[in-house]
């Protein structure tokens, strides 16, 4: 990946903004891990952060390669395959920081990256990430996705100074992590449509160039589903490059808008409620892909309808939020009271722009196209319905939007189409 050329292209964008990425180095390919000694020449005291799985897969090798440079090591214990990026894990990593520490190297995927991103930013340290799976698009983003006080939140931080994706490591990632990475990319069809929708209805900032950058990466990866299942190295390298590029797109904007919309909000819903209820949930990217199919159904329903009068019952809303989010309900209510979107009626704007809205919604893949993409990557929509149950999915369609401060098709559906989810 030629990061210099990419940055030059976006430095003076036609949207009027100067887009900047603070990443210095990206290396994706066979043997990429062997570039670490040269990259770490100026550092003397490195904190290595892994979990027990990623230490075995790659962390031990990193430790050997950097030898005397590693002054401390934190290996987080996972609960099965899951490490929850919460206050406890943050404190555990912070305990490994010494006065002489000058670099954090994370070895892992989403959670390790988010934790290292947050801790390094909080302590004014640089960090590198050595990827162990092409499973999500947050490697290069500025945001750290954490679970604080039981809520899924994204904290603005800094991206890593270097991203290393060694295909000799990446190709050995479990199939479900390859499915997750593919799902996270396919979800861009939904989030990009949401971005355009908010720009149309709310006049939100929108950049055509960043939109097209993200869309091009999505289109590039889409045909590689079967190749990923077969552990094809070209497919894995293409997926990893796309995930990093989309992360850079987020860095250019300064938030996750080019990569996260209604499909991510639904995914966060399933994760948060799973943690609150102590129930199983799919990995983030797999939930994103399933949720992209849900958003396709919602868009098709809206296309075949017409906006109704907006009626809001605050008492019912509060009752439902408390039922769903349990001890995190007050955080959710406080966020939405601060945003104030429940008190805004956009019906006049929507009616004036109705034809444009319909044409825009039609740009996203259909439900049939989404289920075909699921099939290509070895997933089944019916399995998803059976796993969560239709009632939980209906609740998600109604109230996943409340977890974030971002306008998506979920808001349009809730306020003017009765929040319906047609099976």
Quick check: 423 pLDDT over 80?
A: no
Distance of CA 267 to the CA centre of its chain: 9
Q: Which helix (H) or strand (E) holds 70?
A: strand 70-76
Q: Which helix (H) or strand (E) holds 325?
A: helix 314-325
In the block, residue with structure tokens 């199919």: 293
Q: Measured in Å, how far apart are the chain's first and last C-alpha atoms? A: 42
In 3D space, the residue among 384, 367, 188, 201 whose CA is nearest the CA of residue 282 turns out to be 384
In 3D space, the residue among 370, 410, 415 whose CA is nearest the CA of residue 394 turns out to be 410
Quick check: 82 pLDDT over 90?
A: no
**Residue-level pLDDT at 419:** 85
Quick check: 238 pLDDT over 70?
A: yes
Flag the least confident range among 140-144, 261-265, 312-316.
140-144
* Alpha-carbon gap, residue 81 to 283, rounded angstroms: 10
| Domain CATH code at residue 32 | 3.40.50.1970
Determine phi and psi for 267, rounding to 5 degrees.
-60, -45
User: 224 lies in a domain?
Assistant: no
**Residue-level pLDDT at 81:** 66
User: 244 lies in a domain?
Assistant: no
**Residue-level pLDDT at 368:** 98
User: 29 lies in a domain?
Assistant: yes
Tell me: the pLDDT tens digits for 95-122? 999 999 999 999 999 899 999 999 999 9
Please give the mean pLDDT across all residues of the chain. 94
In 3D space, the residue among 80, 79, 88 whose CA is nearest the CA of residue 115 turns out to be 88
**Residue-level pLDDT at 107:** 98
| Mean pLDDT computed over 337-355 | 95
User: 332 lies in a domain?
Assistant: yes
Domain interval for residue 189: 181-204+257-416
**Residue-level pLDDT at 4:** 79
Q: Are residues 186 and 143 in the same domain?
A: no
CA distances from 7 to 11, 18, 203, 416 (A): 6, 10, 26, 41
Q: Are residues 29 and 150 in the same domain?
A: yes
**Residue-level pLDDT at 205:** 96
Q: Are residues 189 and 43 in the same domain?
A: no
Task: State the sign of the Cα–Cα–Cα–Cα dihedral 201, 203, 206, 208.
Answer: positive
Q: Are residues 281 and 185 in the same domain?
A: yes
| DSSP characters over 293-312 | HHHHHHHHHHHTS-------
Q: Are residues 140 and 262 in the same domain?
A: no
Express as a percent the part of the chain with pLDDT over 70: 99
| Mean pLDDT computed over 282-307 | 96
* Alpha-carbon gap, residue 264 to 287, rounded angstroms: 8
**Residue-level pLDDT at 78:** 78
Q: Are residues 165 and 187 in the same domain?
A: no
User: 282 lies in a domain?
Assistant: yes
Q: Are residues 300 and 324 in the same domain?
A: yes
Which residues are paired to 351 by β-bridges?
A: none
* Alpha-carbon gap, residue 302 to 304, rounded angstroms: 5
Q: At what angle do helices 409-416 and 390-399 cross, to 10 degrees?
A: 100
Which residues are paired to 106 by β-bridges?
A: 49, 129
pTM of the model: 0.92
| Mean pLDDT computed over 234-262 | 94
**Residue-level pLDDT at 80:** 64
| Mean pLDDT computed over 171-198 | 97
Per the structure, the count of domains in the chain is 2
Q: Are residues 26 and 124 in the same domain?
A: yes
Tell me: the pLDDT tens digits for 122-154? 999 999 999 999 999 999 988 898 999 887 888
Rounded to 10 degrees, the C-alpha dihedral 51/53/58/62 comes to 30
Tell me: the pLDDT tens digits for 37-75? 999 999 999 999 999 999 999 999 999 999 989 999 999
**Residue-level pLDDT at 253:** 92
Which residues are paired to 147 by β-bridges?
A: 152
In 3D space, the residue among 216, 217, 239, 214 whose CA is nearest the CA of residue 228 turns out to be 239
Q: Are residues 101 and 195 in the same domain?
A: no
User: 225 lies in a domain?
Assistant: no
Q: Are residues 272 and 402 in the same domain?
A: yes
Q: Are residues 113 and 193 in the same domain?
A: no
Q: Please compute Rg for the chain using Cα positions.
A: 21
Q: Are residues 199 and 127 in the same domain?
A: no
User: 277 lies in a domain?
Assistant: yes
3-class secondary-structure state, position 166: strand
User: 211 lies in a domain?
Assistant: no
Structure token digits, residue 187: 């979800």
- Count, residues in the chain: 423
| Mean pLDDT computed over 208-225 | 97
pLDDT-derived band at 283, boundaries 50, 70, 90: very high
| Domain CATH code at residue 345 | 1.20.1090
- Say if CB 72 and CB 47 are below 8 A apart: yes
């Amino acid at each position: 990946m030629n990061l210099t050329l990419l940055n030059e292209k976006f430095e003076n964008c036609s949207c009027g903004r100067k887009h900047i990425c603070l990443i210095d180095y990206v290396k994706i390919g066979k043997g990429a891990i062997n570039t670490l000694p040269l990259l770490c020449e100026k550092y003397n005291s490195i904190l290595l952060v892994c979990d027990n799985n990623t230490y075995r897969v790659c962390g031990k090798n990193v430790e050997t390669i950097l030898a005397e440079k590693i002054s401390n090591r934190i290996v987080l214990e996972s609960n099965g395959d899951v490490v929850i990026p919460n206050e406890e894990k943050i404190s555990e990593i912070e305990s490994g920081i010494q006065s002489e520490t000058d670099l954090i190297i994370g070895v892992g995927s989403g959670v390790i990256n988010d934790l290292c991103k947050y801790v390094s930013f909080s302590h004014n340290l640089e960090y590198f990430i050595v990827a162990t799976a092409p499973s999500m698009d947050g490697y290069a983003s500025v945001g750290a996705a954490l679970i604080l006080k039981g809520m899924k939140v994204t904290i603005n931080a800094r991206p890593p100074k270097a991203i290393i994706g060694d295909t000799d490591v990446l190709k050995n990632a479990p199939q479900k992590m390859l499915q997750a990475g593919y799902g996270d990319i396919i979800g861009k069809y939904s989030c990009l449509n949401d971005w355009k929708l908010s720009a149309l209805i709310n006049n939100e900032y929108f950049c055509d160039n960043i939109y097209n950058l993200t869309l091009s990466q999505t289109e590039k990866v889409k045909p590689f589903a079967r190749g990923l299942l077969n552990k094809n190295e070209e497919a894995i390298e293409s997926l990893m490059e796309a995930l990093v590029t989309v992360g850079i797109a987020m860095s250019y904007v300064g938030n996750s808008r080019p990569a996260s919309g209604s499909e991510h909000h639904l995914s966060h819903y399933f994760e948060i409620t799973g943690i609150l209820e102590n129930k199983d949930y799919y990995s983030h990217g797999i939930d994103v892909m399933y949720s992209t199919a849900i958003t396709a159904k919602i868009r098709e329903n809206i296309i075949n309808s017409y906006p109704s009068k907006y009626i809001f019952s605050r008492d019912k809303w509060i009752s439902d939020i408390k039922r769903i989010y349990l001890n995190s309900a007050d955080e959710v209510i406080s966020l939405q009271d601060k945003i104030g979107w429940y008190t805004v009626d956009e019906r006049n704007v929507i009616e004036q722009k109705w034809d444009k809205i319909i044409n825009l919604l039609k740009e996203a893949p259909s439900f049939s196209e989404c289920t075909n993409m699921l099939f290509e990557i070895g997933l089944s929509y019916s399995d998803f319905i059976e796993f969560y149950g239709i009632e939980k999915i209906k609740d998600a369609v109604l109230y996943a939007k409340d977890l974030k401060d971002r306008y998506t098709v979920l808001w349009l559906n809730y306020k003017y189409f009765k929040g319906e989810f047609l099976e």
